[in-house]
Structure 1
Amino acid sequence: MPDKLSDGVIPTSLDRHRRLFLDRLYRDHIGNLVDWLRRHYGGGPPSPEDIAQTAFTKLTALDDIQRIEKIKPYLYATAVNVALDEIKWIKRTVAFSEHELHRTGHALEEITPDRVYEGREELTLLSQAMEGLSDKQREIIRRSRFLGQTYARISAETGWSSADISRQLSAAMVTIQAATANGSTEDK
């Protein structure tokens, strides 16, 4: 195997020396770097561990690592740049998501225990109201509201007239609205 730098191949001894140097550098600084990042940027996201790993990866990718006079400040500066880039990316992603949600008419809402409880209560009321309907009314609601079928399609598949479907659906909706309205006002 060639042992000259002029051949364009890193001699095995230099490659081994580089690996040992980087391994020692990693062991000596990873813990302190992660702790420092956590104190300055929090627990994440981005996670301090990921930032530190990326900083070391960038450092190991350098061909002329021996030219760096003060390796620790260089490593920390690289980690800061990685952290700032990640934070900017997260902010841009959140801003884009919020913009898209707003543009499409959706609001970004926080899920809270109260909202989960209220949602479950509303589902319970709706379920109870549905149980009070006739089988025919439940089938019409299932087909029209959940499956999106038209009166004509429901009529064709069930043999019920469109007028009967309309009457049954209207009566069922009045029953459901009354049951859910009464249940929600009883809670307050």
Structure 2
Amino acid sequence: MSKDLNDHICEDKVFESIYNKYLQDLINFLYYKFGSQINPNDIAQDAFIKLWDNCKSVTLSKAKSYVFTVANNMMLNEIKHQKVVLKYHQQKPKDYTIESPEFILEEEQFLKRYQKILESLSEEQRVAFLLNKVEGKKHSEIAELLGITQKVVEYRIYSAFNILKKELEGFKIK
């Protein structure tokens, strides 16, 4: 009984015959088109694995074109990836800063004072302030989360902000 050209290729013997028939042609095609920089044997094997994974949707008459198209696309994707890698390696990392050592020291000292003042705030002020300024929550969300009114949230945030502004010179928040 002969196979119909529309039968799928999930049977071992059918797939094996396709593999044996087209493998060397596919490797040669990839080698001639793209060279040996990216191993054409690996790409060919991956293309046949993909054919096996999709064997129910690929007919016997379409198997060759499917494998060649998949292998070609895989090779093109690999070349694109190699270009990205090459471009990344050509970029030199920034090994300098424009900040002076004095600025870095002042920044560390400012951060320590900021943390110390945050610790000195009441828990209610600190929680409302950090939920708003660090996590970006709106006043209404904080009020709902804490179970208080929006006016109380606003008061806590602004009182915390005023304490920070009074204790730290140059303190500003967006």
Shorter-chain TM-score bucket reads 0.3 to 0.5
> TM-score, with normalisation over the residues of structure 2?
0.46
Q: Whose relative contact order is higher, 1 or 2, with alpha carbons under 8 Å and at least 6 apart? A: 2
Structure with the higher fraction of residues in helix conformation: 1
> TM-score, with normalisation over the residues of structure 1?
0.42
